[in-house]
Amino acid sequence: MPPHEDNEPKTLPQALVLLFALSLAGCSAPRPDTLGLVDGKLRPCPDSPNCVLSTAPGHKGQDQAVEPLRYAGAMESARDRLLEVLRAEQRVEVVTVAQNYIHAEFTTPLMRYIDDVEFLFETPGRIDLRSASRIGRSDLGANRKRVERLRAAFQEVSG
């Protein structure tokens, strides 16, 4: 009788190799063309829970709404303080700085997913914002947590 041969695929080692390769290559998608302003407003969130927006009411049962950032004083000073906060963050690249708009890319530490965060200075004293994951459906609350962390840091530098 021939010895028993194990013809079962070695799925765990293969999965670990794949996971490692993906982490080295990064799991980012190219910069989406759905960034920026439309008619002077931030774009709405997609129909997934991995996005939050300060101008969004609850959307199809998903709570995508967050409060905008608030400030007193000149818009230029508030924009400079927000840029200071963003540049103090880890794994962030400020991509666009305009008079009334900022776009930054945040990269997650392990899988290197990229999330896009946009800020709009339209109404005096108010900074609208949108934070969205580029890929996937769920972000396990990462965008909301990031916005709240940025809010706390912005309030701290604003005095």
Topology given in CATH for the domain delimited by 45-158: TATA-Binding Protein (3.30.310)
Q: What are phi and psi of 119, to 5 degrees?
A: -130, 135
Q: What is the pLDDT of residue 129?
A: 96
pLDDT tens readout for residues 63-97: 888 999 999 999 999 999 999 999 999 999 999 99
CA atoms of 146 and 66, how far apart (whole Å): 11
CA atoms of 102 and 96, how far apart (whole Å): 5
pLDDT in tens, the chain (159 residues): 555 555 555 676 665 554 444 444 445 577 777 789 999 999 998 888 889 999 866 544 458 889 999 999 999 999 999 999 999 999 999 999 999 999 999 998 877 889 999 999 999 999 999 999 887 677 677 889 999 999 999 999 987
